Structure 1
Amino acid sequence: MKPISTGFRAFVFGIAAALMLASAASAAEVRVMISGGLAAAYKELVPEFERATGNKVITAYGPSMGTTANAIPVRLERGEPADVLIMVGYALGDFIKQGKVIADSRVDLVKSPIGIAVKSGAPKPDISSADAIKRALLAAKSIAYSDSASGVYISTEMFQKLGIADEMKDKAKKIPATPVGEIVAHGDAELGFQQISELKPVAGIDIVGQLPPELQKITVFSAGIASVSKEPEAGKALIKFLASPAAAPVIINSGMEPIATASTVGAK
């Protein structure tokens, strides 16, 4: 893990000073619901925010969509508290339309590409082109994909684009809740498809690489303030922190491309 830079700390302490000037209230508890795509970078960045601001961040993890107990829509439906939602951009957009997220609080944070993994030490297939991906999928005995944005694309678009949807019905499985990399590491799937940022933290796998450009589907992860938030200002400060240029190296190291900057957040 790379150490947090001095510039990064300076940025965070700047946020802390602004919060202290804005309010003499005691430190806030910021409740966050976040999907897996940004989780690795988030886990590294948030402790620095807590140390600098005195705020406590309470995090609930779950997919951006789906019906599992920890899925963000299900958590909100049963009334779990939330100040900040960090999830797939189009899913956050749906929440804005439903009035569950404050529209002008949305910030697009990162772009996240889909990658392919095999069990550590297993042969790595050629994935350099759409035809190569097609051959690898037909040759594999078992395939796993997530129940979130990347998996929706793999199962409803990519297989059809390659003309192998029928061949995939029996051997390609959607994996709810569990990281796809863990399924591959345990030997329960030969090939696993998920965002690179969600594959990188998993031990026991080798990441073959990204999908080739003609098949790639970039997922945007976005953040917004929940309409039920009790700490919207502290929530905005957290989003600004995650969107800062100083946070970019951590985000890039986790396998994603930063989009937002602190200046764009401050303009809202």
Structure 2
Amino acid sequence: MRAFRLPLLFAATFSVFSSFVALPACADELRVLAAGAIAPIVRTVAADFERRSGIHVTVDNATGGVVDKRVRSGAAADVVVAPDGVLRGLGKDGYLNLASERPIARVGIAVAVRQGAPSPAIATVAQFRKALLDAPSVAVIDPKAGGSSGIYLEKLFERLGIAGQMHAKEVLVPGGLVAEKLVDGSAALALHQQSEILLVKGAKLVGPLPADIQNYTVYVGAVGARTASGATGRAFLTMFGEETARRAMVEHGLLPEVD
């Protein structure tokens, strides 16, 4: 069996690697399924991993709910990176190897408007609530699509006593970049993971939700329970502890959770 050599990853020191580990030939391709806001970081790591190992990495992206359904339906994925609740549910049901679980990053929900539009005050819960009520339209991930921010916001609107008003003005997005609805004029305000907002040219980040009502999604990675590329998948996950990945997380508005 042909073997190739991959740098042994020392996440704790983020050093230049001089040690190597042989991986089996079946790992010529690594298939990664990533959820939502973590996808840009996964792609950054994938490019670095390809360059250093010679292994082709395919990255597919969907909401957490869709990732869950696809894995349960038999989608081919050697590595899954998803919100912790999704990933651990899949692990509990035997689809992922939880012994390989690795925390990666967390991200909070933020508010955005179209570039050039005035920024509403959102520093306090009362100001945030007023901004929502004043906006003629608000774009959010459709909670039925399984996106973590959409699920949380639906409950938050109920807590704030504005669920009825919000249902009348919501622009529900089944997946992808919610802030694009600002650019095309479909919505005046957008609520989404901060990292997703930063990807949209023409959208302006107003700021995060007030601390009292902020919700962080923690993204975790694990290898598939039945994958033949377990060693390769573990090596891939270890790279999220390197400086390149950590820097990309910060640039995209995520907070590193890796060791």
In the superposition, the TM-score normalised over structure 1's length comes to 0.85
Aligned to 2:130: 135
- Unaligned stretches of 5+ residues in structure 1: 1-6, 66-70, 262-268
Give the secondary-structure state (helix, strand or coil) at the position aligned to 1:85.
strand
CA drift at 1:163: 1.4
Superposition pairs of residues 10-159 of structure 1, within 5 angstroms: 14=17, 17-20=19-22, 23=23, 25=25, 28-65=28-65, 71-147=66-142, 148-156=147-155, 158-159=156-157
Aligned partners of 1:12 and 1:49 also within 8 Å: no
* Structure 2 Cα separation of the partners of residues 93 and 74 of structure 1: 14
User: Which AA in structure 2 matches 1:83?
Assistant: D
Identity of aligned residues (%): 29
* Structure 2 Cα separation of the partners of residues 256 and 248 of structure 1: 9
Give the secondary-structure state (helix, strand or coil) at the position aligned to 2:60.
strand
* Structure 2 Cα separation of the partners of residues 85 and 180 of structure 1: 23
* Structure 2 Cα separation of the partners of residues 98 and 246 of structure 1: 33
User: Which AA in structure 2 matches 1:146?
Assistant: I
Kindly provide the CA deviation profile for residues 116-147 of structure 1, in whole angstroms up to 9, marking residues without a partner as x. Answer: 11111111100110000111011111111114
Give the secondary-structure state (helix, strand or coil) at the position aligned to 1:206.
strand
- Structure 1 pair 213–24 and aligned structure 2 pair: CA distance change class (3 A): closer
* Structure 2 Cα separation of the partners of residues 236 and 126 of structure 1: 44
Kindly provide the CA deviation profile for residues 136-184 of structure 1, in whole angstroms up to 9, marking residues without a partner as x. Answer: 011111111114001110012x112211112112112331023101112
* Structure 1 Cα separation of the partners of residues 17 and 203 of structure 2: 40
- Structure 1 pair 27–230 and aligned structure 2 pair: CA distance change class (3 A): closer
* Structure 1 Cα separation of the partners of residues 139 and 59 of structure 2: 27
Aligned to 1:228: 226
CA drift at 1:204: 1.2
The alignment status of 1:209 with 2:207, answered yes or no, reads yes
Aligned to 1:193: 191
Aligned partners of 2:36 and 2:176 also within 8 Å: no
* Structure 1 Cα separation of the partners of residues 258 and 235 of structure 2: 14
* Structure 2 Cα separation of the partners of residues 168 and 12 of structure 1: 49
Aligned partners of 1:12 and 1:241 also within 8 Å: no
Runs ≥4 residues deviating over 6 A: none
Give the secondary-structure state (helix, strand or coil) at the position aligned to 1:135.
helix
Aligned partners of 2:45 and 2:245 also within 8 Å: yes
- Structure 1 pair 163–170 and aligned structure 2 pair: CA distance change class (3 A): same
In the superposition, the TM-score normalised over structure 2's length comes to 0.88
How many residue pairs match? The answer is 245
- Aligned alpha-carbon RMSD (Å): 2.1
* Structure 2 Cα separation of the partners of residues 259 and 226 of structure 1: 21
Aligned to 1:265: none
* Structure 2 Cα separation of the partners of residues 90 and 121 of structure 1: 37
Give the secondary-structure state (helix, strand or coil) at the position aligned to 1:203.
coil
* Structure 1 Cα separation of the partners of residues 72 and 49 of structure 2: 28
CA drift at 1:19: 2.7
Q: Which has the higher strand share?
A: 2
* Structure 2 Cα separation of the partners of residues 11 and 58 of structure 1: 25
* Structure 2 Cα separation of the partners of residues 78 and 92 of structure 1: 15
Give the secondary-structure state (helix, strand or coil) at the position aligned to 2:179.
helix
User: Which AA in structure 1 matches 2:49?
Assistant: F
CA drift at 1:194: 0.8
Aligned partners of 2:27 and 2:232 also within 8 Å: no
